[in-house]
Homo-oligomer: A and B are copies of this chain.
């Protein structure tokens, strides 16, 4: 690690990657434009580094300096040490995990790139909530989804909250953004995937029945909390599947529904 640099002035330009982290609108624009994202907390920072994302700098409070001294091995990466009060003034919140890393984004792979070799896909349409995106990736990683495709209006998986909720799964589950939505779904079908649209509609078939009948490559389409999948996406699917619900309950949260669906479509252990 490079020698830690103590900074006491919240306006120090070396801290500019970390300013106003609670301003969602600002950060969403800025981070994508600058090819930057934030990893927060020791575990998530280590996972980002292990996944090959290059660090721009690290911001630590004193308490974390010893525990994370081994974190950044490249001498060219600055490590800034600040008081908790300075951290709060810069970021806009109390950084209770005590460590932030400004990381460089890598070029996103193409959809064709993430499909190669994949057998189980999640395809998200309009999932624009960072917590839900993060939770979906965490479940995808745990339940053996090979890759995720995102419609153009999905939230950024590398936004700080999504990264945190995913516990770093956004670094390990390959994903791509697709354009020409929903026409690109035809490309999936041509690539051999059966397209399943998850819906709460009671006339869809149960997902367990679908899982029993089909063991081939599968792409599960998931819509946003609230609206669900668009009519065009539903129409483009090969089958509509549902999770059986107790009477009178309208729906599961999209992240819970996704976890159940990923599980239901997992080939059973013998």
Asked if A252 and B208 sit within 8 Å, CB to CB, the answer is no
- A-side residues, CB < 8 A to B, are 135, 138-139, 141-144, 165, 169, 206, 208-209, 243-246, 249, 251-253, 255-257, 259-260, 263-264, 266, 268-269
Asked if B255 and A142 sit within 8 Å, CB to CB, the answer is no
Asked if B253 and A208 sit within 8 Å, CB to CB, the answer is no
In the bound complex, residues from chain B placing their C-beta under 8 Å from that of A143 are 243, 245-246, 252, 260
Number of copies of chain A assembled together: 2
Asked if B208 and A245 sit within 8 Å, CB to CB, the answer is no
A139 contact from B139, B141, B252, Cβ within 8 A: B252
CA distance A251 to B167 in the complex (A): 10
CA distance A144 to B246 in the complex (A): 5
If the complex has contacts A206-B269, A269-B208, are A243 and B256 also in contact, measured as CB distance less than 8 A?
A: no
Closest to A206 in B: B269
A142 contact from B135, B142, B246, Cβ within 8 A: B246
Asked if A269 and B244 sit within 8 Å, CB to CB, the answer is yes
Asked if A256 and B141 sit within 8 Å, CB to CB, the answer is no
In the bound complex, residues from chain B placing their C-beta under 8 Å from that of A257 are 259
Please indicate which of the listed interface residues A143, A169, A244, A249 has the most CB atoms of chain B within 10 Å of its own CB: A249
In the bound complex, residues from chain B placing their C-beta under 8 Å from that of A264 are 263
If the complex has contacts A142-B251, A249-B142, are A135 and B256 also in contact, measured as CB distance less than 8 A?
A: yes
Please indicate which of the listed interface residues A139, A142, A245 has the most CB atoms of chain B within 10 Å of its own CB: A142
In the bound complex, residues from chain B placing their C-beta under 8 Å from that of A169 are 249
Asked if B266 and A263 sit within 8 Å, CB to CB, the answer is no
Distance of A206 from chain B, by nearest CB (Å): 6
